[in-house]
Structure 1
């Protein structure tokens, strides 16, 4: 499959959950991600992609998870397994280091930060769809975490809403190789329009050669 054409006017990088707890040494969830992250070169690939999309003139949107606050989910009727784990470990706690942006992937002037999502989809109960449409976006390139939860759920929702969806298999991570396999080989092809590696994406971005 040939990579699609990415117009700066209609394409956005959608970075899901770029928090210290996920992406930084010392983060609450990082130890579970680290083996796969190191295997695929996650941090280096994210650096390359963010730098390249900015050079190419694409907008960056951030889809952040709910920052945990005391009492979150505790009196809910149906908290999901991840939310029950958050009750215990306080992932992405508001006001704490783990709930701050990874310093290399923090929002820059002109970036759009959507409202925080409570579960797995960056679209559910947020303003992400409205923000994308108001900025003329039709194509979204998903990176961030986790491959088989928030990335997959956000990508599926984007497809249902009519967006062109690109997954980047080595710009995400999960807790196991099996989860990565499911995300990109089994489930991804049922909703994504393109599933690329970082190098393939960089080659497809406009203006990259000129920027380099």
Structure 2
């Protein structure tokens, strides 16, 4: 079991919001991920660790939507659905948690996440959420590049397919983070 100092540790919950939870996810359903992440968050709070809820969203006119010229562009939510689409699922964040809204896959670029963590002397980041190979992976990569001790929990992440999820956890994540099978492998000292 890995024991962390709760005062130097944050749980980063990626994209547990209405618009991203709605589609089917693999290898774990959105409902399973949401429930596991809520349990993790409560465990972190009970031990005095920081919880960060991260959502992705854009302005009402979507002028800040990623403009990249790519083969498979990110689908834009309908304007009339934007507020509901961006809203974090009930119970993900609680009073005292940090809420970060990002405009792209990763939670660091263009946000105040790094500043919020450093001012709290956070060194250990446990990243969980959806999608494994997009928001979770981008956040793990950037956090690792910034010098944080990165961790992730396999059964608290899910993706568009089981294959994408497994590829990330078997080949990419072990080079960026300590990979834990479940939240039971983590404790606080």
The TM-score, its normalising length taken from structure 1, stands at: 0.78
The aligned residue for residue 85 of structure 1 is 74
Q: How far, CA to CA, are the matches of 2:121 and 2:48 in structure 1?
A: 14
Match 1:32 to one of 6, 13, 24: 24
**Could you give the per-residue CA deviations for residues 26-61 of structure 1, whole angstroms, max 9, x where no partner exists?**
xxxx2232x533399323322321221112221101
**Could you give the per-residue CA deviations for residues 60-79 of structure 1, whole angstroms, max 9, x where no partner exists?**
01222124633436793x25
Structure 1 alignment gaps of length 5 or more:
24-29, 208-212
Helix, strand or coil for the counterpart of 1:63?
strand
The TM-score, its normalising length taken from structure 2, stands at: 0.87
Q: Is contact 1:14–1:63 with CA below 8 Å preserved after alignment?
A: yes
Q: How far, CA to CA, are the matches of 2:66 and 2:9 in structure 1?
A: 39
* Aligned length, in residue pairs: 189
- Comparing 175-184 and 46-55, the one that deviates more: 46-55
Question: CA 1:163 to 1:92, structure 2 compared with 1: closer, same or farther past 3 Å?
Answer: farther
Q: How far, CA to CA, are the matches of 1:92 and 1:183 in structure 2?
A: 34
**Could you give the per-residue CA deviations for residues 121-166 of structure 1, whole angstroms, max 9, x where no partner exists?**
1101111101100011000000111100110010010011010000
**Runs of 4+ residues over 4 Å off in structure 1:** 79-82
1:104 aligns with 2:96: no
Deviation at 1:90, TM superposition (A): 3.7
Greater share of helix residues, 1 or 2? 1
**Could you give the per-residue CA deviations for residues 157-183 of structure 1, whole angstroms, max 9, x where no partner exists?**
001101000011111110101110111
Q: Alpha carbon RMSD of aligned pairs, Å?
A: 2.6
The aligned residue for residue 195 of structure 1 is 179
Match 2:4 to one of 3, 6, 15: 6
Q: How far, CA to CA, are the matches of 1:182 and 1:155 in structure 2?
A: 15
